[in-house]
Amino acid sequence: MTWFQAQNYCREHYTDLATFESYDDISMLEPTFSYEYAWIGLIDDPKSWKVNLGNKSNSWRWSVTGETGKTTFEAWASSEPSFGNAQETCVNMDTDGTWIDTDCTNKYSFVCYTVTKQSDKVYKFFPTVKSWNSAQEYCKEHHTDLAMIENSIENSMVLSKIGGKRSWIGLYRVPWAWSDRSHSSFKNWDDTEPNNFPLNGHCGVEGPHHKWLDTSCSVFQPFICQQVTRLRTTLTSDCISISKAADQRANEEISDRTRLRDVRSSASTGWGERKMGDSGEVEDRKGGEKGQEGDFFFFPYLTKLRRIIHVPARHSQNPCKANKPGMDRLQASVEESTLKPNPTDLSDLYSIF
């Protein structure tokens, strides 16, 4: 399946394409794959940053706010932004006033700005060359921040300051986002990856040794789904007399009954095949012969580890408030119920297709 087809399938039958937060999560998979690559939930969707400034987690943001702009103004040069070599995540202004995405470690002149009491922006050019991060630090210390540009007039004002020198402005982005919208910053890229070659490597795949690579989202690959199980812990309360609360055994009982237990399922493996039917739906079968290339999706079906995610305890109303003096100790009991998976939680069950 393509990345987006795999995403739709995982969301329909599981929770989402797989998210990884640490090497422990990767160890939940088999040591090596029986195939070359498999889709995971990592994507740098160009619709969020290439077509327009966007408002997604991987979209362009202004340094001063860390947020997307209040206007839709942009001044990209032709064929920009390109995210060349998967490194160009900061922006400078070219000598003609157009914007170019560039490797943040490159050194250029820069433009800071200060906001006046009348809420006007005053721009100041600095010919000293710095990396984007160093320029940002300087501007934050001595001015408001690197230049923020929200309309054509402000763009022309900055152009008039740079004197024919390419200069940093305050636009940047953080590429790559997880399909389930989790905030995991864990990365496990292979050497020389990601490289966005040839300028269409916008989706992430897991390699045979669990290193990640970027590739075109339209390539057909096996894929890894995740399933999330969440439990809510509810503490219900009733009153105990002071004398009973002093009883050591009662205290131990309260402690035991409120202790959360890890829940894990046993590991199992198997295999099967998935065929795209005439109706476009995926058909499941066990065994069988391999079909034509592109027809079948063979997979080792893994249930490696099922961890339960506990929601913070929700307390019921304290009945002791309405009771007489001497009933001031709470006895807690635990009630757990399965909830609909939250897309911000990490997978507890990985299935590889």
The 3-state secondary structure of the chain, one letter per residue: CCHHHHHHHHHHHCCEECCCCCHHHHCCCCCCCCCCCEEEEEECCHHHCCCCCCCCCCCCEECCCCECCCCCCCCECCCCCCCHHHCEEEEEECCCCCEEEEECCCCEEEEEEEECCCCCEEEEEEEEEECHHHHHHHHHHHCCEECCCCCHHHHHHHHHHHCCCCEEEEEECCCCEECCCCCCCCCCECCCCCCCCCCCCCEEEECCCCCEEEECCCCCCCEEEEECCEEEEEEEEEEECHHHHCCHHHHHHHHHHHCCCCCCCCCECCEEEEEECCCCCEEEECCCCCCCCCCEEEEECCECCCCCEEEEEEECCCHHHHCCCCCCEEEEEEEEEEECCCCCCCCCEEEEC
pLDDT at residue 172, as a whole number: 96
Q: Cα(212)–Cα(220) distance, rounded to whole angstroms?
A: 16
Give the class (CATH, top level) of 1-44+179-353.
alpha beta
Pinpoint the residues of the chain covered by CATH 3.10.100.10: 1-44+179-353
The pTM for the full model equals: 0.66
pLDDT at residue 53, as a whole number: 80
**Residues 124, 127, 132, 138: is their CA dihedral positive or negative?**
negative
User: Dmax over Cα atoms in the chain, in whole Å?
Assistant: 84
Q: What does the pLDDT profile of the chain (353 residues) look like in tens digits?
A: 999 999 999 999 999 999 999 988 888 877 666 668 899 999 999 998 987 787 888 999 999 999 887 788 999 999 999 998 888 999 999 999 999 999 999 999 999 999 988 889 999 999 999 999 999 999 999 999 999 999 999 999 999 999 999 999 999 999 999 999 988 889 999 998 899 888 889 999 998 788 999 999 999 999 999 988 765 555 554 444 444 444 555 555 544 443 333 322 222 222 223 333 344 444 343 332 322 322 222 233 333 333 333 334 344 344 444 444 443 333 333 333 333 344 333 334 455 55
In Å, what is the CA distance from 194 to each residue of 176, 181, 200, 315? 10, 20, 11, 46
Instruction: Take residue 96 and report the two structure tokens written for it.
Output: 């003609």
pLDDT at residue 89, as a whole number: 95
pLDDT at residue 290, as a whole number: 29
Instruction: Take residue 272 and report the two structure tokens written for it.
Output: 């099967």
Beta bridge partners of 91: 101
Q: What angle do CA 243, 244, 247 make, to 5 degrees?
A: 100
